[in-house]
Amino acid sequence: MGRPPCCDKEGVKKGPWTPEEDIILVSYIQEHGPGNWRTVPTNTGLLRCSKSCRLRWTNYLRPGIKRGNFTDQEEKMIIHLQALLGNRWAAIASYLPQRTDNDIKNYWNTYLKKKLNKLETGLSAAHSREGFSSTTSQSMSRGQWERRLQTDIHMAKQALSEALSPDKPPTTLSDFESSNSPVSCNKPPQGSSSYASSTENIARLLKGWMRNPAKPARKSSATATATTTQNNSLRKICAGNESASSEGTQSAANYNSGMEMCEAALESLFGFESFESSNSDLSGSVSPDASLFQDESKPDTPNVDQLPLSLLEKWLFDESAISTTQGKEQQLISNYNDMTLVQNADFFSS
DNA sequence: AACCACGGCAACCGCCTTAAT
DNA sequence: GATTAAGGCGGTTGCCGTGGT
């Protein structure tokens, strides 16, 4: 016999989540923590499959998720990581801890891919204008360059996968990756503050939602027409959550001050505009629930995930060099690094 | 004002890996 | 070791809002 069944498929609700369902889910996770999704539908009474609950949590309700426009820095990072890792959105998302893999994937598919295609066609058009002919020696060198790029990408991927392999010492990338994985959320949080603050946010979310029911967030909230009974039950939940909010506020404040210090340090060190500060103008445009989570912490997220790409790459490939001890690959990777950096500089200066 | 096309995004689907029995 | 479901992930779909005609 294998494991017991997750959830029977009959009577499982599909489609957008209602705020009430969100509250139930968040309340449950606040109490029990994420993980063991199999039991969530039965214990909460939600008519959702466990998978749907997990997805809703990881993509929408989880504390620390930033919504709204992507910054230039994030955009560059995504492009760069996509070139390195391919469509491994979860891996890419681990470098942008405030963004979900779904978010990054959507952003890539709806915007970045098109933007890069445009740039690519623009570049090739410019090349043809400048006399790049398919029969000239220049095209030969371009072909060689492309082949070399392909090889380098392949080698970089290989080195990366080696660096990520589980038999490596515990200071490698895999640690950071795993520390961002949902599994790590199963670990007892460093204090229950993250869930408490999550509750606080949900309470505020509902306050806003009830105060302004005519302007719900898109999709789930939009489809949810708040009935009187719903509001009453939600108010009860809110009242309960309010009491838990004070400790969360404290932890959020601590986190924020820590983040500010970290960002200030990064800014002074690398001259990068910090992710948060460059996003400060988004606060007005994000959905109500999203903005509520802005100040949330992600307990197991290491600060290294906030580092700008150049430093991250340096660290990443230094790690690769240590673990692979293959100088040739390292050389190729650094070549690739140089090339992609130049490419990116070209892309974004245009 | 009505219609249409397009873009954004939440959620679902299906496959693969991991883990429990 | 085999079996089976959970969990994770990437691809895809479908709904809704918005802008153009």
Tens of pLDDT, residues A31-83: 888 878 888 888 888 888 888 888 888 888 888 788 778 888 888 888 888 88
Counting as low any pLDDT under 50, the low residues of chain A are: 1-8, 132-143, 145-146, 149, 162-201, 203-350
Residue A107 CB lies within 7 Å of the nucleic strand C: no
* Interatomic distance A186 CA / B21 C1' (Å): 22
Strand B nucleotides within 7 Å of a protein CB: 7-14, 19-21
Question: Is residue A87 in a domain?
Answer: yes
Sign of torsion, CA A139 A145 A150 A153?
Answer: negative
A34 in a domain, yes or no? yes
Position A49 in a domain: yes
Angle at the Cα of A214 from the Cα atoms of A210 and A216, rounded to 5 degrees = 75
| pLDDT value, residue A42 | 84
Q: Tokens at residue A157, please? A: 């991927």
**Does A224 fall in a domain?**
no
Find all residues with CB under 8 Å of A338, minimum gap 6, and list them.
Answer: none
What are the angstrom distances between the C-alpha of A104 and each of A52, A72, A82, A247? Answer: 19, 13, 10, 32
A184 touches strand B (CB under 7 A): no
Closest nucleotide to A108 by C1' from CA:
B8
The candidate with the shortest Cα–Cα distance to A95, out of A347, A310, A335, is A310
Last residue of a domain, one of A122, A157, A191: A122
My answer on whether A26 and A39 are in the same domain is: yes
Q: Which of A107, A122, A137 is the last residue of a domain?
A: A122
A50 touches strand C (CB under 7 A): yes
pTM of the model: 0.55
Domain span at residue A46 reads 12-63
Q: How many domains does chain A have?
A: 2
Q: Is the same domain home to A52 and A19?
A: yes
CATH number assigned to the domain comprising residue A73 = 1.10.10.60
Q: At A158, is the secondary structure helix, strand, or coil?
A: helix
At A254, phi and psi to the nearest 5? -60, -45
Please check whether residue A63 is in contact with residue A296, taking contact to mean a CB–CB distance below 8 angstroms.
yes
From the number of C-beta atoms within 10 Å of its C-beta (0-12, 13-18, 19+), residue A199 rates as: buried
**Are A59 and A77 in the same domain?**
no
- Is the C-beta atom of A5 closer than 7 angstroms to strand C? yes
How far apart (Å, rounded) are the C-alpha atoms in residues A67 and A53? 20
Residue A66: CB atoms within 10 A of its CB come to 24
* pLDDT tens by residue, A303-330: 333 444 444 444 444 434 333 334 444 4
In a domain, A213, yes or no: no
Contacting residues 23-62/A vs strand B (CB within 7 A): 51-52, 55-56, 59-60
Distance A312 CA to B5 C1' (A): 42
What pLDDT does residue A29 have?
86
Instruction: Compute CA distances A62 → A33, A79, A199, A229, whole Å.
Output: 11, 25, 11, 26
